[in-house]
Structure 1
């Protein structure tokens, strides 16, 4: 296999940007590092091709944006679409283009141990990387640790988990707990809590905290393993937990799911909020207001998060001083009377 600049940097024990500076003679680098890079280049017989040399000198002006297969299609998620709008807003202003790096389950099963974004990093096809939808201690996060250790420009959207990482975050655990507390304060004691697979690793902690702090609460957490056809599962859930089990409230993780929930309520002749209360998350402000009936929701500013992540990444690429390594965004609650006080 032909060696890449990534391999040279790893063998020399330096960052990719240091190798680039040495190849381009663009900055002062210690003799020790220069010798280590030269030795690594000789070891691999590494010769930057014309495209690679262009990347060293001029950059590609492309930023990779990665979403793994368990996040669902980018075109089905208002969260991802709003995130991309925010990213594009910043990249366009700075003359960068966005490269979507999506990963199907088929690709993930075929290429074991290496998420797709590693191809783009190792081949220097992008100048930096934005990651969304990492799920627990997956191979995605292990790969991210590798490139963080190599000082590759990367920002991830999610809770901080690596001392070298730069991230943006909306305090997912906090607003999910606020959703539960909001329903509990209105008298609901038996609540169904839906999660997307992307957030499954947070489930245990959220459920444990809720049960410790809200003594009379009976919480039923359900992970939505896919988004292609969840309607049959929701119908079964509502028959079991609402009609047959006495649940009075539902926490929905997103407007897409809430729309299906409302359709299921119509089919099963369950009125909102008289029979069952619904509280959702929205990522585009006012999404819950456009549903019928209107749905109360916690607004998560996905577009601002995308813009913030892109700003931090471009500062890294341009070697600007970073005043923050983690940027948090606050949510806002909109009460649209889809919760009945018991």
Structure 2
């Protein structure tokens, strides 16, 4: 008669790793007060022993609320001006509902200080974890979440090096493909409408890098006069395009770092009596729903906000449930969608 296999316990993991069982618990719960070396020792012991935490016991011990937060360090009105973010929120909410969770939204609520959204979330003390929209306020906000031992996943880049887990699209590759598309069309002076120069987020910086790399590959020296700034709105795209048209040697193509600015650019070009793409080509970024129906239909880079939101939510639930994370960073593909504006 063969005996049943002995169940591996947290104390077995502690003995294997040469640490206390309390330290193992902190690693399993992804708490901040563990050195990276110790964390690796414990993870190695967990894998060696094929240890699986008792999720029911962990839920009881942690008094799980079945609520996750979404921290948006902007004014609430921003949500309704960004179709890509709305798509992310929709998929996050669907993933939460499928698991019996509710979604708690925390915004800057009219404050210019994005940190207010983080502080409000921490004060509530009701959520099991959070998804965070990337902003320039991220460093201080993420430190606040780390200090309070929250599970969280960022929708964006780890510019501040304070984030542990993050999901984003491949903005650099997408911008490079958009720029190469215009180069293949024969354009050599490609103007760009960048995001705000102050408080730039990682996505904007990555798009600029992709643009610059594509120019360098083609042997083209970047002309700083061809870079103007907007604030991601259609009116700012109009104003930025007016500046480009006023140059003594204006561009033959414009690459706007989001679709709304690209639409503003097209509106301004038309009002100036210019044809798109015959006189000036225009490319956007995001592929918002209105892009395909615009006149002319907008060439753009498609980012799946739905996929970004879903993958980030799935990662957060793995953290909450103590499941292993294959990689702290997930990069999702970006796809160039060629339409009539280029």
**TM-score of the two chains, using structure 2 as the length reference:** 0.71
Instruction: Verify the 8 A CA contact 2:171 2:334 in the aligned structure 1.
Output: no
Alignment of 1:188-199 (within 5 A): 188-197=187-196, 198=201, 199=203
Q: After superposition, what is the alpha-carbon deviation per residue over 1:155-198, rounded to whole angstroms, capped at 9, x for unaligned?
A: 00123454861111212122112211221122111111122233
The aligned residue for residue 63 of structure 1 is 68
Alignment of 1:171-190 (within 5 A): 171-190=170-189
Alignment of 1:143-158 (within 5 A): 143-148=141-146, 151-158=149-156
Instruction: Verify the 8 A CA contact 1:194 1:252 in the aligned structure 2.
Output: yes
Paired with 1:236 and 1:18, the residues of 2 have a C-alpha distance of 51
| Structure 1 residues without counterparts, runs of 5 or longer | 1-13, 20-53
Alignment of 1:85-164 (within 5 A): 85-103=90-108, 106-108=111-113, 114-135=115-136, 139-148=137-146, 151-161=149-159, 162=161
The aligned residue for residue 319 of structure 1 is 322
Match among 79, 87, 90 for residue 82 of structure 1:
87
**Higher RCO structure, 1 or 2 (CA under 8 Å, sep 6+):** 1
Alignment of 1:1-342 (within 5 A): 58-69=63-74, 73-103=78-108, 106-108=111-113, 114-135=115-136, 139-148=137-146, 151-161=149-159, 162=161, 165-197=164-196, 198=201, 199-202=203-206, 205-206=209-210, 208-219=212-223, 220-225=226-231, 227=233, 229-230=235-236, 233-241=239-247, 244-284=248-288, 287-339=290-342
Corresponding residue SS for 1:90: helix
Q: After superposition, what is the alpha-carbon deviation per residue over 1:127-157, rounded to whole angstroms, capped at 9, x for unaligned?
A: 211111323xxx4223314534654210001
Corresponding residue SS for 1:106: coil
Q: Which moves more between the two structures, 207-216 or 173-182?
A: 207-216
Instruction: Verify the 8 A CA contact 1:283 1:302 in the aligned structure 2.
Output: no
Q: Supply the RMSD in Å over aligned alpha carbons.
A: 3.2
Q: After superposition, what is the alpha-carbon deviation per residue over 1:233-279, rounded to whole angstroms, capped at 9, x for unaligned?
A: 235224314xx533110112222222222221221111111111011
The aligned residue for residue 5 of structure 1 is none
Paired with 1:171 and 1:164, the residues of 2 have a C-alpha distance of 18
Paired with 2:126 and 2:212, the residues of 1 have a C-alpha distance of 43
Corresponding residue SS for 2:78: coil
| Structure 2 residues without counterparts, runs of 5 or longer | 1-25, 32-58
